[in-house]
């Protein structure tokens, strides 16, 4: 299948699923976290998929890779920020496991995507 838009990129699809899961899992966070972990997790998730989209439209592999690397960093932020949310019992176990799994899958597919783009 030919990739015509960023939505065709498999790793973007994985990141989008992660973003939706994070929004769902954070909607019942305490009000005190509205500008803390809740906001940070959501922004990191949106940053992940946004940077894939922006990288896709950049001209030149080097410029694109810059944005894909930002996306990787956003995934690491999600993993880091989800840990205190888990330990503070803001996530229930099923949401934690789903976020952890989706973040790992998105990270692996993003790594593969980046590797494949370096030689264009």
Q: Is residue 58 part of a domain?
A: yes
pLDDT band at 116 (very low <50, low <70, confident <90, very high): confident
> Is residue 24 a part of any domain in this protein?
yes
What mean pLDDT comes out for the span 86-109? 95
Cα–Cα distance list, 101 to 17, 90, 105, 106, 113 (Å): 11, 17, 6, 9, 18
The reply to whether 1 falls in a domain is no
What is the spatial distance between Cα 97 and Cα 81, in angstroms, rounded to a whole number?
14
Do the Cβ atoms of 91 and 82 come closer than 8 Å? yes
In a domain, 77, yes or no: yes
> How is residue 7 annotated by DSSP?
G
Better-predicted residue by pLDDT, 24 or 1: 24
Q: What would the two tokens of residue 114 be?
A: 């980046």
> Could you tell me if residue 88 is inside a domain?
yes
6-57 pLDDT, tens digit per residue, is 999 999 999 999 999 999 999 999 999 999 999 999 999 999 999 999 999 9
Q: Which residue range forms the structural domain that includes residue 98?
A: 6-117
Give the per-residue pLDDT at 119: 47
- H-helix segments, the chain: 10-26, 37-57, 61-87, 93-117
Give the total number of structural domains in the chain: 1
Check whether 120 has a pLDDT greater than 70.
Answer: no
CATH number at residue 98: 1.20.1440.60
Q: How far apart are CA 21 and CA 80, in angstroms?
A: 16
Residue 94 lies in a domain: yes
What is the average per-residue pLDDT within 101-114? 95
Q: What is the pLDDT of residue 75?
A: 97
Asked whether residue 112 is assigned to any structural domain, the reply reads: yes
Residue 61 confidence (pLDDT): 80
Looking at the domain assignment, is residue 71 inside a domain?
yes
DSSP E strand boundaries for 9-102? none
- Nearest-angstrom CA–CA distance, 10 and 114: 12
């Amino acid at each position: 299948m030919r990739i015509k838009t960023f939505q065709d990129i498999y790793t973007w699809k994985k990141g989008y699923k992660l973003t939706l899961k994070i929004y769902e899992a954070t909607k019942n966070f305490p009000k005190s976290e509205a500008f803390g972990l809740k906001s940070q997790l959501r922004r990191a998730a949106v940053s992940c998929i946004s940077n894939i989209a922006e990288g896709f439209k950049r001209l030149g592999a080097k410029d694109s890779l810059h944005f894909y690397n930002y996306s990787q960093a956003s995934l690491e932020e999600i993993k880091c920020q989800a840990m205190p949310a888990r330990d503070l019992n803001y996530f229930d176990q099923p949401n934690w496991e789903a976020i952890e799994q989706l973040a790992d899958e998105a990270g692996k597919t993003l790594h593969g995507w980046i590797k494949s783009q370096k030689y264009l």
